[in-house]
Structure 1
Amino acid sequence: MLSHHSKWIQSLTADFLKSHCKSVRGTKQAHALLLRTHLFCDNLFASKLISFLASNSGDILYASRIFAQIHSPDTYICNTMIRGFAKSHTPSESISLYYYMVRCGVPCDHFTHPFVLTACARLREVRLGPRFHSEVLKNGLEPDLFVANALIQFYGSCGWVGDACQVFDRSPVRDVVTWNVMINGYVERGLYEQAFGLYEEMLKLDCIQPDGVTLISLVSACTQMGDLNRGKWFHSCSKELGLDKNLTVGNAILDMYIKCGDLELAREVFLGMDERDVLTWTSMLMGLTSLGHFQESLDLFRRMQFEKIQLDEITLVSVLTACAQTGALDQGKYVHLLIDRYNMKRDIVLETALVDMYAKCGKIDLALQVFDKIRVRNVFTWNAMIGGLAMHGHGKEAIALFDRMKHDQVMPDHVTFIALLCACSHAGLVEKGFEMFRTMKEVIRLEPRMEHYGCMVDMLCRAGLINDALNFIETMPIEANSVVWAILLRACRMGGHFELAQRVGRRVIELEPDSCGRYVMLASVYAGLSQWDDASKIRNLMKRQGIEKIPGCSWMEFNGTIHQFVAGDKSHLLVKEIYAMIEEMTQRVSLDGGHAPAPPDVPFDIADEEKEYSVLLHSERLAVAFGLISTPPGSPIRIAKNLRVCNDCHSFLKVVSRIYNREIIARDRSRFHHFRLQLDPKRLSARINNDQNDL
């Protein structure tokens, strides 16, 4: 029995609970106080403990232990526990607690059923939902706004949009939440037009105004549909409603523009945002990477660090992808350092991105180090490593790694066999290539795609088996596309099969009339035959159709900055020094005698000397010249190019590497070209065949 100071004690206790029930530790102290003062039996005080512990910041298990000690819990306490369990990792406890209420005669109110329905939705317990709906009807609670919203939410999340619509239509009172839940139900089921129609109905009402949740759902629908025009309209609506400054709405609009491919408007939204969170920065960075603006993506990453934006694994995967595409090895190594320094969660996606980055930046040995340390690998990890070995010309090692992949019982996919066939193609392993092709079809039961047939044609062409390649194309079970014919065209041109090249070239242009590369290749065939009129006709046809030749472009990373060069480029700050080095390189290579210039098939009737000069200014030579004047003697030079390295440049750079005692690693769109220094094949094979993680 309380003393005459009980009211004073109750007042102090209430203040103590208010100040302490903000953390689990403080709530435990409050619990102890209630036990000492014998106030725990008062549901008003016990409910304060339950309220915090059943919240997202509390401890639901501790809350359940306290609940078990309460002799006669009231409706509020039971509802609080049901809501807590509904949001926890054990939502089924909410349903058990509801039946406990019914057995104990604790009255249910209009809050009880919505919390139970939330638990049913999370559990996807479709059968239980209608049972609780019938109890709602029995108790006359369906007209209640909170209950109606919960029913619509339940049916919508379980995919019963028709039932959700019935509850929505019968509801006598609707607020913005009611409309939002119904719109979101349509969006989640892919019924976008119904969602847009409901929004138009909503706009006709004077008493209801759309909020941020409304627009996020509708903008998300535009994103999933790829409907840029409608997305722009909802962006305008957000401005009219004064919601465009809402961070979550802004993030949704930014994501919509990026995924719909309008980078310019995405930039405008990003730069116009008053507030940005990590999601904003990550969305913009991922968008730049996915749309091919790799240098801008890396610039944004540096800005994120300057502004101390917290990095996460998703951000770093995008940065590593940009590094891989531009050959930015130093930046990639820096990201790897950040991962280790901040002990970031190295999930399989991030680990695979590291493997891919090192492989595509020319460091196949570092790619293997990362790969060997990964404890659990999926098919994407294996594909990245096998593809990396293939790009570097290590065909036998790629096949050996595939054997390890089978030993680890990882099922290969279509990408695996593209990498393996490329490996066989680059290494000249024709018989092994056909063996892999048969394995894919007959053992793994994967139906070959056009890419696989293209790899087989490329393999035959590289081996000089032009007639076999033509026969392979003509007997394919699917009709060859322009890419497959273009592979044969290139081989015909390089091998001097000009008659077949003309026929194939015309076929390629018929299949892909908008590709500049196809016209240039056919014009080069005519130039090789000195048929200047025909070459001129092809170029005039390109002009009439408004097709422009894609300029050769090369990149080189120096001091964390990507330097870009195009053929004949004079825009670089060190242009005088670069051109002076080009002249020096040319003279020294000429004196060496190890390179016999092969005038390219320029489709113009000009002197060989002029053709030679045009090759001197190819972008890869400019990039290597910059590397020679800007990096320390003896250090490697790494460049990347958007097109194939021509034969003349390949021969030229091979001699440059030897004369200047430099390792030159050039990556073009199909593979790596290593000059002078290579990873020891014996050591590489030993590494791949070693199943032990000994690094």
Structure 2
Amino acid sequence: MIRWAWKTVLHKSWKSILKTVTFSLPKACNKQLPFHTELSIIYPPVPPRFCHGSCHLFDEMPQRTQGLYPIGFFYLLNLIEYCKLKPHLQSVVNVHALALKAGVLDHLPASTSLVMAYSRAGDYPSSVAVFGEICCKDVVVWNAMITSAVENELFRDALSVFAQMLQEGIEFDSLTLVIAISAVSRVTKRLGYLQAVHSLGVKKGLVSDCDLHNALISSYAKSGDLGSSVRMFLETEMKDEISWNSMISGCLRNDQPDKSLCYFKKMVSCGIEVDTVGLTCAISAATCLQDLSNGRAVHGYAIKLGYNETAHVSVLNSLVSLYSKCGDVDAADTVFRGIYVKDLVSWNTMINGFSSNGMILEAFHLLRRMQLEGSIQPDTVTILSLLSLCAESMLLIEGKIFHGFLIRRFIGLGILVINSLMNMYSKCNYIEKAEILFMSAQDKDLVS
């Protein structure tokens, strides 16, 4: 617990309101500090674009201009802002109580930050409650509420809030539409919703916004309407790396890897800065086409940009997959060995590479290495890859070992694993065991 001495530092008008308040903060901040000298250092108003983790676009956009308020007001506002960026539910609750006592929640920026703080601390119902208590809501508050629903994966709730905003005649901005599109892209039958949001942007003259254009490019591609995605891309005057990445990944998503590589080449020729997203998609496109020549060219370009380092493990994993599926296992193994901090995808990709190229001993040896290192253990993907290898090579003993491993490690086996085990036992002429698995499976599918 930390005791802040409020009355010695606040403006005279605050002395009658704020006395001595006790509240808890995360353990990292658990030390005694004089309020007036240390608070602004420990909890400065951190610009959201510098916070760790994935911040929503809502945090990155300019919000409101600040007026003149007593000095103590901004200390409280900084506390609420800190709770939004570093969410901790008990701290949010305590700062909320402090803000209520001080009357700070009449200030819209404070209320908006509190809505986001509760949401990111995992208490979405409290975000809704705070939002409901705000009398004069502006577009920023509505954007915060829609963002809160999206961040909690309540996408239909987000669309309901957006619809309510429209019904009440609130003037929305381009950020509102971007957030709504992020919700639309995660619901089923989204194309109609997306076209409706697009129409609203056209009607209000907001489609010139670059962020809105990029959101529409990506969402149309995810909805399977690649033609509309291409049209939006061509209409974008100031194309940035997000615009190009959206087209490269969109073509790949819609089973057009050749067009994906084409857009990547155009992106490079236009001098646009290439990031991990563009490189990974280009390598995946070359993998789909089994185009080793273009894959090596992208690999060379990645090395030139410095993307052969461990920090860009997603690019290296894509290269392992490329070389494995194109039959160059030595090159895949060389890239794999160069990954200093391997993640689960790295191991699974290399094991699958050995398996798909019939290198049985190497696959089992790599699995043993994976278990001995201890930091990362096999998962279902690892086992499925090796069970497939056991089935094709009729390795009954090894298949039984994996079956035992699955029983020990997992409480229940999913239908994918059961089907793979049935396939393995059947191909190893152990039909009785395959039949037992079939009878024990509760949710049989066509493969079963």
Same fold (TM over 0.5): yes
CA distance in 2, matches of 1:97, 1:128: 14
Counterpart of 2:240 in structure 1: which amino acid?
D
**Mapping for residues 280-359 of structure 1, pairs under 5 Å:** 280-308=346-374, 309-325=376-392, 331-343=398-410, 345-358=412-425
Kept in 2: contact 1:153–1:181 (CA 8 A): yes
Match for residue 291 of structure 2? 227
Counterpart of 1:146 in structure 2: which amino acid?
D
CA distance in 1, matches of 2:166, 2:191: 21
The offset of 1:176, in angstroms, is 0.7
Cα deviations by residue, 1:491-525 (Å, 9 ceiling, x for unpaired): xxxxxxxxxxxxxxxxxxxxxxxxxxxxxxxxxxx
Match for residue 262 of structure 1? 328
Counterpart of 1:95 in structure 2: which amino acid?
L
Query: Does residue 49 in structure 1 map to residue 81 in structure 2?
Result: no
Cα deviations by residue, 1:88-117 (Å, 9 ceiling, x for unpaired): 544233333223333445432231111112
Kept in 2: contact 1:359–1:367 (CA 8 A): yes
Match for residue 256 of structure 2? 191
1:152 to 217, 238, 251: 217
**Mapping for residues 460-475 of structure 1, pairs under 5 Å:** none
Query: Does residue 27 in structure 1 map to residue 92 in structure 2?
Result: yes
The offset of 1:281, in angstroms, is 0.5
Match for residue 113 of structure 1? 177
Counterpart of 1:120 in structure 2: which amino acid?
V
CA distance in 1, matches of 2:447, 2:338: 37
Q: 1:364 and 1:134, CA in 2 relative to 1: closer, same or farther beyond 3 A?
A: closer
> SS of 1:127's equivalent?
helix
Gaps of 5+ in 2: 1-12, 19-70
CA distance in 2, matches of 1:263, 1:344: 35
Kept in 1: contact 2:325–2:353 (CA 8 A): yes
Query: Does residue 134 in structure 1 map to residue 199 in structure 2?
Result: yes
> SS of 1:380's equivalent?
coil
CA distance in 1, matches of 2:436, 2:123: 42
1:244 to 300, 305, 308: 308
CA distance in 2, matches of 1:86, 1:117: 10
Kept in 2: contact 1:176–1:210 (CA 8 A): yes
Match for residue 265 of structure 2? 200
Counterpart of 1:343 in structure 2: which amino acid?
F
CA distance in 2, matches of 1:284, 1:184: 23
Match for residue 376 of structure 1? 443
Cα deviations by residue, 1:449-482 (Å, 9 ceiling, x for unpaired): xxxxxxxxxxxxxxxxxxxxxxxxxxxxxxxxxx
2:342 to 258, 265, 276: 276
CA distance in 2, matches of 1:339, 1:58: 33
Q: 1:25 and 1:313, CA in 2 relative to 1: closer, same or farther beyond 3 A?
A: farther
Kept in 1: contact 2:83–2:92 (CA 8 A): no
| Structure with greater Cα Rg | 1
Kept in 1: contact 2:80–2:95 (CA 8 A): yes
Kept in 2: contact 1:126–1:158 (CA 8 A): yes
Q: 1:157 and 1:354, CA in 2 relative to 1: closer, same or farther beyond 3 A?
A: closer
Kept in 1: contact 2:295–2:322 (CA 8 A): yes
> SS of 2:159's equivalent?
helix
Counterpart of 2:307 in structure 1: which amino acid?
L
May I ask how many residue pairs the two structures share in their alignment? Answer: 379
TM-score (norm 1): 0.49
Query: Does residue 213 in structure 1 map to residue 277 in structure 2?
Result: yes
The offset of 1:304, in angstroms, is 0.6
CA distance in 1, matches of 2:403, 2:133: 52
Q: 1:53 and 1:174, CA in 2 relative to 1: closer, same or farther beyond 3 A?
A: farther
The offset of 1:314, in angstroms, is 1.1
The offset of 1:38, in angstroms, is 4.1
Q: 1:99 and 1:364, CA in 2 relative to 1: closer, same or farther beyond 3 A?
A: closer
Q: 1:202 and 1:339, CA in 2 relative to 1: closer, same or farther beyond 3 A?
A: same
Match for residue 158 of structure 2? 94
The offset of 1:348, in angstroms, is 0.9
Counterpart of 1:209 in structure 2: which amino acid?
E
Q: 1:148 and 1:274, CA in 2 relative to 1: closer, same or farther beyond 3 A?
A: same
TM-score (norm 2): 0.74
Match for residue 131 of structure 2? 67
Kept in 1: contact 2:257–2:288 (CA 8 A): no
Q: 1:276 and 1:162, CA in 2 relative to 1: closer, same or farther beyond 3 A?
A: same
Kept in 2: contact 1:14–1:45 (CA 8 A): no
